[in-house]
Amino acid sequence: MKPLVKPLFVVAMCAALSSCSDDSSPDSTSSGSSESSGLVESEFGKMPGGESVKIFTLTNTNGMEAKVTEYGAILVSLQVPDKDGNLADVTHGYDTLEGWLTNTSYFGATVGRFGNRIAHGKFSIDGKEYSLVTNNDPGGIPCHLHGGTKGYDKVLWKGEGFESGSERGVKLTYVSPDGEEGYPGTLTVEVTYTLTDSNDFVWEAKATTDAPTVLNIVHHSYWNLSGDANTSINDHELKLFSDHYLATDAGLIPTGEKAAVTGTPMDFSSAHVIGARVEEDFEALKLGGGYDHAWVLNGTKDGDLVKAAKLRDPETGRVMEISTNQPAIQFYGGNFLDGTATGKGGVAYQHRTALCLETENYPDAPNNPDAPSAVLRPGETYHHKMVHSFSAE
C-alpha cells in the first residue's frame, strides 16, 4: 500500500458536506484507479485548541463515496447506490466538525477503549480493581458507556491516506495514555477504513498495550438505508446470524444468560421487518426501550470472519451485509434518538430514524467469566475486523 504522495488542504468551507465537490475543486488533489475513483485529503475544521482536523474522501469506481475524519476516527458520510443506481448518504451525522464536537450519540464514531457498558464502571485484572467514570444510567443504574466522558470518539487521531489497486482508505492512529478515563496501560490503536471497488466498506482496529488492560473497540455508525434521515428504520428488514441474545438487567448489563431467540421477538435468524414486533410485550424489549441488545454470533472461530447481519431497505433495495471476526453484534434500534440532535441538512433526528449494528465482544465482558476474554496483555495484538458489503436487490 502506498501512502498518498501529495496531501493537499483545501479550504475548510469546502469540506463541509455537499458545499462543494472535492473532485471538481481546482485546489484539491485526487488520484485513483479511474477518473471517478480515488482519495482526497482536505481540512474539515479546527479543534477548539486550534489544531487542524483532516477529512478524507474515498471514492470507488461505482460512485460510492466515504468521508472519514481524524476527529473521533469518525465515518462522516457514506454515499451508497440504490437499485436504480441513485446515490444517497445512508448515515446520521453532521455537516461540520462543530456538530461532532458536541455530539453525544456517537454518530459514525470509533468507540473505545471499551464499547458498550461496564457495570458500575468497575472491573479487575489479575486481582487488582480498576474504577472508570460512570457516564450512563439506564434504569437509574450507573455504568460506564463507550469509553467514558472523553472516549476515542472525542479525541483527535492522526490520519494517513493510502491507495492500493482497487481499494483506497485511511489509516488513523491514536495513543491512549495509561490511566485515560481510568483504564490501565498505554494503548496504541490503529483504525483503518477501506473502500473497495466491489462496494465493500471495511473498518478494522488493531491495538497493542504496555500493561494488561481491557478493550472492545467498536464502530458506531447509524444507518438508514433509505437515504432519507426523516424516515423510520422500522420498515427495514433485518437478519442476524444468531440463535441467542444476551439477556440484560434493567441497567442493560448482561445477566450471563444466553437466551434462545426461538419463538420471541428477538428472533432475526430469518429476515424480519424491524417494526413488526418491536412493541410486543416482551421483557427484553421493555428493558431496552426497543432493540438494544447483543446477539451472540453463530459459528465464530478465532480470527475468522463470519456473517453477522443483513439489512435491507425494501423501498430503495439497498442491502448492507456485515461480517466480522468478533463474537457478538449489538443491534441498537435508535431508541434514544428523540429529535434533540440536529444533524446533516438541519434534520432533527427522531426516534428510530437510524439503527446501529456494532460487532463487538460482549457488553460488560470484563465482569463476565463466561464471555470471551476482553483482556489484552503486552506482546498481544487486538484485532477487530468488520466488513460492510453493499448491494441492491
**Contact set with ligand BGC (CB under 6 A):** 105-106, 116, 252, 292, 330, 332, 336, 356, 358
H/E stretch holding 156 reads: none
CB 115 within 8 A of CB 147: yes
Please report how close the Cβ of residue 166 comes to ligand BGC at its closest, in angstroms.
32
Q: 65, 181, 237, 358: which one is catalytic?
A: 358
User: Least distance to ligand BGC from the beta carbon of 205, Å?
Assistant: 16
Q: Rank residues 335 and 389 by Cβ distance to ligand BGC and give the closer one.
A: 335
Phi/psi at 181 (5° precision):
55, 20
When the beta carbons of 59 and 330 are compared against ligand BGC, the nearer one is 330
CB 332 within 8 A of CB 117: no
- For residues 96 and 17, give the distance between their C-alpha atoms in angstroms, rounded to a whole number: 7
Nearest C-alpha neighbor of 356 from the set 44, 17, 64, 75: 75
- Residue (of 321, 320, 265) closest to 290 by Cα position: 265
Q: What CA–CA distance (Å, rounded) separates 357 from 242?
A: 13
CA atoms of 105 and 336, how far apart (whole Å): 9
How is residue 266 annotated by DSSP? T
Looking only at the bridges linking them, the beta strands covering 254-260 and 242-248 are antiparallel
The least distance separating ligand BGC from the CB of residue 295, rounded to whole angstroms, comes to 12
Cβ distance to ligand BGC smaller for residue 221 or 323: 221
What is the Cα Rg of the chain in Å? 20
User: In the complex, which residue's CB is closest to ligand BGC?
Assistant: 332
Torsion sign, CA atoms 330, 335, 341, 346: positive
330 with 293: CB under 8 angstroms? yes
Is the link from the previous residue into 113 a cis peptide, with omega within 30 of 0?
yes
Of residues 65 and 292, the one with the C-beta less far from ligand BGC: 292
Find where cell 427522531 sits: 350
Does residue 35 carry a catalytic annotation? no
Least Å distance between CB 381 and ligand BGC?
Answer: 24
CB nearer to ligand BGC: pick between 231 and 359 = 359
Closest approach of ligand BGC to the CB of residue 332, in Å: 4
Provide the minimum distance between the beta carbon of 36 and ligand BGC in the complex, in angstroms, as a whole number: 34
51 is an active site residue: no
* Residue tagged active-site, from 92, 146, 219, 220: 220
Nearer to ligand BGC, 9 or 336 (CB): 336
**CA–CA gap between residue 141 and residue 224 (Å, rounded):** 30
Give the catalytic positions in this structure. 220, 358
